[in-house]
Structure 1
Amino acid sequence: MTALLLFGDQLGPHFYTGHDEILLVESAAALRRKPYHRQKLHLVLSGMRHLAAEFPDRVTIVRANTYGEAIRDFGRPLVAYQPGSLAAQRMLRRLGVEMRPTPAFALSREEFTAWAGTRERFLMEDFYHFQRTRFDVLMEGEKPVGGRWNLDAENREPPPKRAKLGVPEPWWPKEDEIDAQVRKDLDELKLPAVGRDGTRRFAITRTEALQALESFVRDRLPHFGPHEDAVLTKDWTMAHSLLSVPLNHGLLHPLEVVYAAEDAHRSGAVPLASAEGFIRQVLGWREYVWHLYWHLGGEYLQRNGFRATTPLPDWWARLRPAMVRAACLRTALEGVRNHGWVHHIQRLMVLGNHALQRGYDPAALNEWFITSFVDGFPWVMPVNVIGMSQHADGGVIATKPYLSGGAYLNRMTDHCGGCWFDPRKRTGERACPFTAGYWAWMDQHEPAVRANHRMGRAVQNLRRLSDLDEVRAQERHREVF
């Protein structure tokens, strides 16, 4: 009898339904191969062990040094679903394991390939329109509900003048004896992990995932839209769903998530801007990122259009933000250290923005996002980091670099008021590293971006700066962030 091999990100019923015998592998070599976040390691092991405990007659966990050893020890023919990385796909082929198309995404690879056609640039908005139409989500016939496809302009409110957004708390899981044993085992393994251990904050069983989804749609989705791009120092979750972990571990299917949000809007419980903004993240961006990982292939991981080669500093790579003075950057790194998670604006406009300005190697940065984030997997990050964040692909994904100075951060976060740096200053001891870094980056890369029509005003403003030489010298030797 052929058994089903599942990975730790394939834990939902759309994977195992119809299979009587299931193999899960705890590979010591895989766990110690990279400096993963401690809480990421916990989630992977907890998810697999909870599934085994739920179906003890169907699920076998084999603990071995490598997957190859585990599969040989198991000793029976195996089939697997397409995994979440090129490396895992190569491994399955090498081990002779049959692979089937993944059931974890709404759109099939064949349909995406047909949509992509001969495109050389892949704009998410085009794909998102296709997805909405294909799956009849927030549609009235052939037109979008409300007459507009994208309500992002209504979802850019700055943070409120209070410490917290004031929405209901997220649904939090309760740890059990399985989590306790995982924590004990990880302590004994002494893995090269980064970040802090902490109480498990993300759903990692099917039952938990459904509870988290129901709670989010009922209590938090109505408040999600307006402030989804804002950041509050003392409110790390804001109104975000925290569903990226159960989604990326295969515990929820994207269409059940999307239809839950759509139903809540159609019932009158959720404003259209909130429902549409969330659906765009799941049915648009997440599916787009998955398909482009495979469509663009391994070569995409080496794209480096701005020839950025600066190694990640130790305080960044090892999640040691104590000496970082910039409040926005310190808070974001503290969030990664404490939770293995910060929301998309901190990823893009704080961490990614800083990395772009400082010329961090995009391949190393991509790897850092994969290993340091609890929802990071090899398929998740390349389009997000190499494409969207670092614009290292030359515009395959985005029409311009996502670059900003301190003014944007001052408007969209509550960090700047108490920060040692001044977002209005680009020179001097208290010059904001984001404001000064913006102009230093523009100066360095002006020949490469001057033809981009979306960068035209920035190029004109650069040429008007009277203190550009001082900015150049200052940022060339900056040591304090």
Structure 2
Amino acid sequence: MAVWHWLFGDQLGPHFLRPGEDVAGPAGDAPVVMVEARSVFRRRRFHRAKAHLVLSAMRHRAAELGDRVHYVRAETYREGLRRTVGDAPVTVHQPTSRAADGLVRSLPNVRVLPARGFLVPAEAFRSWAGGRKQLRHEDFYRWTRHALGLLMDGDEPAGGRWNHDQANREPPPKHAATLGVAAPYRPRETDIDEQVRADLDRWERDEGIGFVGRDGPRTFPASRREALAALRRFVEHRLATFGPQEDSMLAGDAVMSHSLLSSSLNLGLLDPAEVVGAAEDAWRAGHVPVQSAEGFVRQVAGWREYVWHTYWYFGEDYRHRNALGHRAALPDWFLELDADAVTARCLSTVLAQVRDTGWTHHIPRLMVLGSHALQQGWDPRAVTDWFHRCFVDGYDWVMLPNVIGMSQYADGGLMTTKPYTSGGAYIHRMSDLCGGCAYRPGDRTGDRACPYTTGYWSFVHRHRSRLAANPRTARAVQGLDRLHDVEEVLRTRRRQDGNPP
């Protein structure tokens, strides 16, 4: 009896078929089953561009595999698998969500192979984490660099520093509408995209499956060939300028020098080893400065790996963490990506980017979207679900640690040493988003008080006991105590509450 190999929709690269020590026999030639399960899209109201990208990528991969693959469209994974393979044995690499992992392990005749698409094996992470009181990203990142020999000169880090953050936190150039770098790779749609779009239209019309956001021309790779082209384009033309302004924002340049490779990595179209290897090769060849190579390697080999492993290490209860006791519901304007309802230029601009593309880079995610949610006291599980649904690179494993831990501080400090939020001054310093805004970043009171500034001080006031006990946030409480108009600031904030900022 033939042994089938099951590919999930985020296991689309050749490394998910390549035989290895975790695959016995000629698995590289095994017949393949792929299941397009509509139930996934019934459970969550995904961004339309995300649904389009995932389905397009799956169908492109099926077209590449040709007669070797049985591509089945079904209501559920169970139904599709039953219709295709019956009682035949199946192998599958560990899925990337707890729900899918539980499913495959509950099925008879399914053998679960170790995860692929990551640099650090699970057992190696558990060995590193064992006995540590805190699992700090910086410690993990240095350990990973050393263990894998990434950007190393012998036992020392390339350029003499593990961390080039200080060189990678520059504000955007003054009076510039864009960063002025080469444009990123953008794919051309195919007949497959046209069929996906027609199917999504039919689902909305006939099956009651809803979406948010807009589905314009596909802007992210849906095939291995496109993903490799995007990687080459980034390394050859954009990586050199990535580092210094990776934390800055421009209203007219949403992508800056960012790689736009996260969706390709998370769909499995690219292997992280080839991505960080290309960045290191460019640095060693003298084509990019060390701070840009290091900043990018930190994102892929550091943060991405760290998030993947903490997702599994912290356990299922992690998603229920709510250390700050935030319970407020997300408002309709946020759920619907209604950027036009928002007056604050920074939030309106970023929300429009998400609405139109399903993507914005890590600083708008953290310091505009996440910071506002934190200041508002929105339920962290609902915020996590929103990020999962609305971003083309969002998956359960991606967004749970990023939102519960990094963005909303709902884990009380398991991942980060402080909550990440700020007043309008940070946004003003790191962007051009305050220019032309109806609010003033320095105003705490009055009709032009910046919602981020009043929100910041309201957050500090609400959690002052916790923040005062943390050495990294104690100064914020001291700053609150020095405000001569704190009561008026809080009254201004209360007047702002309940309305789009």
SS across alignment from 1:56: helix
Q: Which runs of 5+ in 2 are unaligned?
A: 19-27
For 1:11, the equivalent position in structure 2 comes to 12
User: Structure 1, residues 362-416: CA drift from partner, whole Å, max 9, x if none?
Assistant: 0110011011000000000111111111111111111111110000000001011
Quote how far apart the aligned CAs of 1:77 are: 2.2
Structure 1 CA distance for aligned equivalents of residues 9 and 124 of structure 2? 26
Is the CA contact 2:212–2:337 (under 8 Å) kept in the aligned structure 1?
A: yes
Gap change, CA 1:480 and 1:66, over 3 Å in 2: closer
Q: 1:64 aligns with which of 56, 62, 74?
A: 74
- Contact 1:16–1:22 at 8 Å: present in 2 too? no
How far 1:474 sits from its partner (Å)?
A: 2.2
Paired position in structure 2 for 1:49 = 59
Counterpart of 1:194 in 2: which secondary structure? coil
Q: Name the residue aligned to 1:422.
A: 440
Q: Find the counterpart in structure 1 of residue 267 from structure 2.
A: 249
Give the equivalent residue in structure 2 for 1:106: 119
Residue number in structure 2 paired with 1:73: 83
Conserved? CA contact 1:7–1:83, under 8 Å: yes
State how far apart, in whole Å, the 2-side matches of 1:331 and 1:143 are: 42
Equivalent residues of 1:124, 1:284 under 8 A apart: yes
Helix, strand or coil at the partner of 1:418: coil
Show CA shifts across 1:179-230 (max 9, x none): 1111111110112111001111111211111111011000000110111111
Question: Please, what is the CA RMSD of the aligned residues?
Answer: 0.9
1:361 equivalenced with 2:379 (yes/no)? yes
Aligned length: 481
Q: Given residue 357 of structure 1, which amino acid in structure 2 is its aligned partner?
A: Q
Contact 1:120 1:396 in 2 (8 A): no
Alpha-carbon distance between aligned partners in 2 of 1:162 and 1:461, rounded to the nearest angstrom: 33
Partner of 2:427: 409
Q: 1:434 aligns with which of 452, 459, 479?
A: 452
Letter in 1 for 2:82: R
- The 2-side partners of 1:382 and 1:388 are apart by 9
In the alignment, the residues of structure 1 paired with residue 424 and residue 14 of structure 2 have an alpha-carbon distance, to the nearest angstrom, of 46
> Quick check: 261-270 or 99-108, which moved more?
99-108
| Runs of 4+ with deviation above 6 angstroms | none
2:126 alignment partner AA: T
Match status 1:394 vs 2:386 = no
User: How far apart are the structure 1 equivalents of 2:378 and 2:425?
Assistant: 22
Distance 2:29 2:349 in 1: 45
Q: 2:192 aligns with which of 164, 167, 178?
A: 178
Which residue matches 1:270?
288
TM-score by length of 2: 0.95
Residues 233-254 of structure 1, C-alpha deviations (whole Å, 9 max, x = no match): 0111100000001100001111
The separation in 1 between residues aligned to 2:133 and 2:346, in whole angstroms, is 35
d(CA) in 1 for partners of 2:464, 2:416: 18
Partner residue, 2:105: 93
| Distance in 1 between residues matched to 2:147 and 2:41, nearest whole Å | 39
Q: 2:468 aligns with which of 450, 453, 456?
A: 450
Any conservation in 2 of the 1:51–1:59 contact (CA below 8 Å)? no
What is the aligned partner in structure 2 of residue 155 from structure 1?
Answer: 168
| Counterpart residue type for residue 8 of structure 2 | F
Unaligned runs of 5+ in 1: none
Give the AA of the match of 1:85.
Answer: S
- Cα offset, 1:2, TM superposition: 1.0
What is the SS of the residue equivalent to 1:24? strand
Residue of structure 1 equivalent to 2:33: 23
Query: What does residue 252 of structure 2 align with?
Result: 234
CA distance in 2, matches of 1:217, 1:476: 48
SS class of match (1:14): helix
Q: Distance in 1 between matches of 2:377 and 2:196?
A: 38
2:143 matched residue in structure 1: 130
Q: Deviations over 1:336-372 (max 9, x none)?
A: 1000000000000000110110001001100110110
Aligned residue for 2:67, secondary structure, equals coil
Q: Which residue type is aligned with residue 13 of structure 2?
A: G
Amino acid at match of 1:167: V
What is the distance in 2 between the residues matched to 1:30 and 1:391? 28
The one-letter amino acid of 1:149's match is W
Q: 1:289 aligns with which of 286, 289, 307?
A: 307
Q: Which of 181, 199, 212 is residue 167 of structure 1 equivalent to?
A: 181
Aligned sequence identity (%): 54
Q: Per-residue deviation at 1:38? A: 0.3
CA apart distance, 1:480 = 4.0
- Is the deviation greater in 468-477 or in 359-368? 468-477
- 1:25 maps to a residue whose letter is V
Q: Amino acid of the residue matched to residue 401 of structure 1?
A: P
CA positional deviation for 1:476 = 2.4
SS at match of 1:453: coil
Distance 1:28 1:12 in 2: 22
Which stretch of structure 1 is more off in the superposition, 69-78 or 408-417? 69-78
Whole-angstrom CA distance in 2 between matches of 1:476 and 1:382: 30
Aligned with 2:94 (options 52, 59, 82)? 82
Question: Deviation string for 1:312-341 (max 9, x for gaps)?
Answer: 111111111111011110111101100000
CA contact (8 A) 2:333 2:500 kept: no
Say if 2:3 and 2:30, in contact at 8 Å, map to a contact too.
Answer: no
Distance in 1 of aligned mates of 2:131 and 2:386: 32
SS of equivalent to 1:375: coil
SS in 1 for 2:239: helix
Q: 2: CA distance between counterparts of 1:474 and 1:5?
A: 56
| 1:293 partner letter | Y
- Do the aligned residues in 2 keep the contact of 1:12 with 1:252 (CA within 8 Å)? yes
Letter aligned with residue 250 of structure 1: G
TM-score normalized by structure 1? 0.99
Alpha-carbon distance in 1 for matches of 2:138, 2:29: 38
